[in-house]
């Protein structure tokens, strides 16, 4: 069964990539059952959060990914 996900990483200039914080290799994934669910979530994640100030810019890098899942 195929899984549809979003890989989340930080921009190379993000200070949270410091070794004593999240580190250079930090990444997170969000998985969805269908490509349509993933695509809706991807669009929503690309929107600027309402609590950000005008000068603030999100430092997240979002990438659509797919994975084959082995079910038992």
Q: Domain-by-domain residue ranges, the chain?
A: 2-49+58-67
Q: Which has the closest alpha carbon to 4: 33, 28, 27?
A: 33
pLDDT tens figures, 7-64: 999 999 888 899 999 999 999 999 999 999 999 999 999 887 677 667 666 688 999 9
Cα(71)–Cα(35) distance, integer angstroms: 19
Banded pLDDT at 68 (limits 50, 70, 90)? confident
Neighbours of 30 (CB within 10 A): 15
Determine the pLDDT at residue 59: 80
């Amino acid at each position: 069964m195929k899984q549809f996900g979003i890989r989340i990483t930080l921009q190379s200039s993000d200070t949270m990539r410091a070794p004593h914080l999240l580190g250079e290799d930090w990444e997170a994934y969000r998985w969805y059952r269908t490509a349509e669910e993933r695509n809706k979530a991807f669009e929503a994640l690309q929107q600027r959060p309402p609590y950000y100030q005008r000068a603030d810019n999100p430092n997240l890098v979002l990438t659509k990914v797919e994975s084959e899942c082995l079910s038992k």
